[in-house]
Amino acid sequence: MAKYLLLKHYRGAPRSVNDAPMDQWTPDEVTAHVQYMNDLADCLTSSGEYVDSQALAPDGLWVRHDGKGRPPVTDGPFVETKDLIAGWMVIDVEDQERAIEVAGELSAAPGKDGQPIHEWLELRPFLSMPPTVTE
């Protein structure tokens, strides 16, 4: 088994097919979208593949160390051009082929007019533990 991260972007991903931002959806469309995501998580739990999912608020800051004894420097809010992560799902699946299949389903979540968003998701494998037998 291998763990994969499915990364959703607010900004920075290639344009999706059904590209209308969420604030132009009806409340029912938002509900249907959230329901789809929850159902998919349930479905992946039953298939023994679900690990975790989280959503992130769009606003955030850059933070960095600014030398010993000094408070960290912050910069923000993020500029409009920044690649912005909206959230993620982590799955534990047999192989990359299956990870792509799950990402495809997640990308089909309904958006405006109840139509699939066809959102681009970033699929990233986790680094794992090294195997015991190497020679």
DSSP structure string for 68-102: TTSPPEEE-SPPTTS-EEEEEEEEEESSHHHHHHH
Q: Does residue number 97 form part of the binding site for other proteins (CB under 8 A)?
A: no
Separation of alpha carbons 67 and 72, rounded Å: 8
- Residue of 5, 32, 37, 51 that binds other proteins (CB under 8 A): 51
Asked whether position 131 contacts other proteins by CB under 8 A, the answer is yes
CB 11 within 8 A of CB 19: no
Q: By CB under 8 A, tell whether 105 contacts other proteins.
A: no
Q: Give the one residue of 4, 25, 36, 50 binding other proteins; rule: CB under 8 A.
A: 50
Q: Name the residues that contact other proteins, by CB under 8 A.
A: 1, 3, 44-52, 92, 94, 125, 127-133, 135
